[in-house]
Amino acid sequence: MIDVSGTRGAVLEDPRTNRGTAFTLEERRHLGIEGLLPPAVETLDRQLERVLGHLDAKPTDLERYVYLIGLADRNETLFYKTLMSDPARFVPVVYDPTVADACLAFGHIYRRSRGLYVSLEHKGRVAEVLRNWPVRDVTFLCVSTGQRILGLGDIGANGMGIPIGKLQLYTACAAVPPEGLLPVLLDVGTTNAALRADPLYLGLRREPPPTEELDAFVEEFVQAVQEVFPGCCIHFEDWKGTDAIRLLARYRDKVLCYNDDIQGTASVTIAGLTTALQIKDERLKDQRLLFLGAGSAGIGIADMIVSAMRLEGLSEEEARARISLFDVDGLIEPSRKDLSAEQAAYAHDAGPSDDLVSTIRCLKPTVLIGVSTTGGAFTREVVEAMSALNERPIIFPLSNPTDKCEVSATDAYAWSKGKVLYAAGVQFPDVELDGQTYHPGQANNFYIFPAIGLAVYATKPKRITDAMFIAAARASADQVGPDLRGKGMLFPSQANILETEITTAARVAEHIFDHGEAGVERPDDIRAWLEALTYAPAYPAPSR
């Protein structure tokens, strides 16, 4: 029975209790909402039919995004019913690539707060602010400063669209119950002067603080989370690269947390590499990898590949020697004086080079990965150089949104004469070339982080390790069968994403139990146990 305390009609204002036209006539009388709804009593499926009609009539994905966020504000069950009815269609609308446009316009399309804004002005009172969130049992908290959103750079409080969207994917892709999910924007100001001058900008109109002050504020926030939401997992998302690396290193062994830009991106990259190497019948430890981009994502992917190579028998030194980085100032090599400690670990003996094609010809990589956010950086000459060196070159342009992608699928297949094993950070349509159809993969983190979320939600570990992400990567790759690999596909079908994520989560949970890291007893059937914990968008049975 729904709690009828409070103002009559309040049940229609709460998206978690509102069923709209699905309330029975008896429930309407009991709740005092007779006359506040049309007379018809509808099923959830009938409501979904109407929603799909509305979405079909929208001219752009940004307008579909606005409509769906409004639906989430009105009726959470119907919102998730919509997303989970066709995830391949709707995940790109509520998340990447459409969320990039939504974030750029966030202050202009804002209608209702869907998360918690913790700003520098709350310094010294962060725990007090966290207690204002009406749900006490928060299981996951996704937090961003908005300082490195996708390929958009620092957009400050406009970045709130990312934590909101990420957590919606926990539920839409892996059926993690939504009531325990909390989006947080840690507002520390923005370097974006144009935003600060925008009268509709919703964040602090100031420059970010020095590193020491930022770290003290983050420390207060992390400790406040432990106090107010004990057992909650902190999901760091879209922080400035140097901050992301430093803060993950500081907290990963102290609290339950992870950084999706670093660990999730690395994991999905390894998943795609694993499938590509199955197609080539080769081992990861035998590859030579070159990265364009040496920020937090590049370093994170490289570090996790080192861990995966070590599992195949290489030493850390041997594994690092097989990975090179190239950034805006050229090849990462010992004569560079501008390197961070994390970058210096990949500074191998080589002469300086600021030419990517020459570097490829010199280092002879088998794998080229783009995390540069520089659209078109993998030119025809780059792709042809990789194709001349490799019968099946592996090229992953991972930057997003679409205009930041290093090379489009159409160009990659055409310039490699169909030889490339390709996955991008965004989804490109199939490519027709010389009478053959190619299926570009999408190395999107949504194959990984929702499954990690479900496994962590169920097993309650104290910490999250890189080994859990490697287990997730292998589980994802194992679900790309010979038929899909034969088509050059590197990731499972998005149409069955819930099945895929539960399978991946079961493998991660198995790893957690095997290594004694779980906070609960091991069940006899891990998959059945996980399925029993998942969320399904359905209304409760009518009240009697």
3-state secondary structure of 373: coil
Asked whether residue 362 is domain-assigned, the answer is: yes
Structure tokens at 235: 């999901």
My answer on whether 285 and 422 are in the same domain is yes
Residue 101 lies in a domain: yes
Taking the C-alpha atoms of residue 253 and residue 1, their distance in angstroms, rounded to an integer, is 43
Cis omega before residue 92 (within 30°)? no
- Distance, in Å, from the CA atom of 222 to the CA atom of 234, rounded to the nearest integer, reads 8
Residue 79 CA to residue 67 CA, distance in Å, equals 10
Report yes or no on 540 lying in a domain. no
Q: Tell me which residues of the chain have a pLDDT lower than 50.
A: 1, 4-5
Total structural domains within the chain: 4
Are residues 268 and 161 part of one domain?
Answer: no
Question: Is 2 within the bounds of a domain?
Answer: no
Write down the pLDDT at residue 1.
44
Based on the fold, state whether residues 220 and 330 are members of the same structural domain. Answer: no
Query: Distance of alpha carbon 367 from its chain centroid, rounded?
Result: 23
Where is the domain boundary, 83, 118, 144?
83
Q: Is the pTM of this model over 0.85?
A: yes
User: For position 463, what pLDDT does the model report?
Assistant: 97
The answer to whether 407 and 380 are in contact (CB under 8 A) is no
Asked whether residue 463 is domain-assigned, the answer is no
Q: How many CA atoms lie within 13 A of 294 on its CB side?
A: 23
Helix H, strand E, coil C: the string for 442-476 is: ECCHHHCHHHHHHHHHHHCCCCCCHHHHHHHHHHH
Q: Would you say 185 and 117 are in contact if contact means Cβ atoms under 8 Å apart?
A: yes
Name the DSSP letter for residue 210: P
Q: Is residue 396 part of a domain?
A: yes
Compute the distance between CA of residue 377 and CA of residue 370 in angstroms, rounded to an integer.
Answer: 8
Q: Which helix (H) or strand (E) holds 67?
A: helix 61-74
**Diameter of the chain measured on Cα atoms:** 79
Q: Which two tokens stand for residue 536?
A: 């399904």
Cα–Cα distance, 283 to 266 (Å, whole number): 17
Q: Cα–Cα distance between 260 and 267 in angstroms, integer?
A: 9
Domain boundary among 201, 229, 255: 255
Buried b (16+ CB within 10 A) or exposed e, 248-273: beebbeebbbbbbbbbbbbbbbbbbb
* Dist. CA 292–CA 355, nearest whole Å: 11
Dihedral (Cα; 456, 511, 288, 358), 10-degree rounding:
0
Nearest residue to 190 via CA among 127, 246, 126, 238: 238
Element (H, E) at 56: helix 44-57
272 plus 413 within the same structural domain: yes
Burial 76-104 (b: 16+ CB within 10 A, else e): bbbbbbbbbeebeebbbbbbbbbbbbbbb
Query: Do residue 102 and residue 212 come from a single domain?
Result: yes
**What's the CATH code of the domain at 37?**
1.20.1370.30
pLDDT of residue 82: 98
Catalytic residues: 95, 166
Shared domain check, 374 and 285 = yes
Same domain, 281 and 247: no
Same domain for 511 and 424, yes or no, is: no
- Classify burial at 363, counting beta carbons within 10 Å of its beta carbon; exposed 0-12, middle 13-18, buried 19 or more: middle
Report whether 414 contacts 404 (CB < 8 A). Answer: no
Residues 37 and 66 in one domain: yes
Residues 393 and 494 in one domain: no
Report whether 440 contacts 420 (CB < 8 A): no
SS3 441: strand
**Residue span of the structural domain in which 140 resides:** 94-255
- What the block records as the tokens of 505 is 């989560």
**Domain co-membership, 242 together with 119:** yes
Q: Is residue 483 part of a domain?
A: yes
4 in a structural domain: no
CA distances in angstroms from 332 to 51, 304, 338, listed in the order given: 51, 18, 10
Same domain, 206 and 291: no
Q: Which residues contact 208 (CB under 8 A, 6 or more apart)?
A: 145, 147, 188, 189, 190, 191, 214
pLDDT at 526: 98
State how far the alpha carbon of 389 is from the alpha carbons of 105, 237, 334, 363, 525, in Å: 44, 36, 26, 10, 47
> Distance between CA 231 and CA 254 in Å, rounded?
12
CA atoms within 13 A on the CB side of 110: 18
Rounded Cα–Cα distance for residues 301 and 263 (Å): 7
Domain boundary residue, one of 237, 255, 273: 255
The kind and range of the H/E element at 310 are: helix 296-311
Place of tokens 């034969």: 486
Query: Residue 286 belongs to a domain with what CATH number?
Result: 3.40.50.720
pLDDT of residue 241: 81
